[in-house]
Amino acid sequence: MENQKSLYIFKLFSLIRKVQGLKSQSFKDMNANGIKTAIFLTLIYEKGVSQSMIVEKMAVAKQTINNIIMELCEKEYVKTVTDESDKRLKILVLTEKGKQYARNYLNPLIEFNAKLYDRLGEEKIKKMADDFSELAEILMEVNREVI
């Protein structure tokens, strides 16, 4: 029975890798970077976001996020502002130039996502998001137990 359980988990992660590969190919075809896209989306839809919050949310190396944020700041797409309630905290904000760039940069992705959404439907998307959130939580727990 343990082998059967392991086989099902292996199949699940194989499908996840396949989906990631297909998504990566789509991003490549759109000249998009997955991490940069996620940063733009986070800054558009969430307020009061710091670099450390993005690192935690995306579970990506701090240096990777830092390099992308530095690039976006150099291009004047993003700026940092001091948080009013905690002067030590730097909040990331899209500049007007960054908002315009993000609209152009994200438009192909938005159209692509709309097609996926229409084919899958809201109910299925919500269920998958809930299921993958639960999987991520369980993986973190199991990783802590193993280490």
How do the pLDDT tens digits run along the chain, 147 residues long? Answer: 788 999 999 999 999 999 988 888 877 776 667 788 889 989 999 989 999 999 988 888 999 999 999 999 999 999 999 888 888 889 999 999 999 998 888 888 889 989 999 999 999 999 999 999 999 999 999 999 986
pLDDT of residue 66: 92
Q: For residue 32, what pLDDT is reported?
A: 67
Residue 31 pLDDT: 65
pLDDT score for 60: 85
User: What does the chain look like in DSSP terms, one character per residue?
Assistant: -HHHHHHHHHHHHHHHHHHHHHHHHHHHHTT--HHHHHHHHHHHH-SS-BHHHHHHHHT--HHHHHHHHHHHHHTTSEEEEE-SS-TTPEEEEE-HHHHHHHHHHHHHHHHHHHHHHHHH-HHHHHHHHHHHHHHHHHHHHHHHHH-
pLDDT at 2: 82
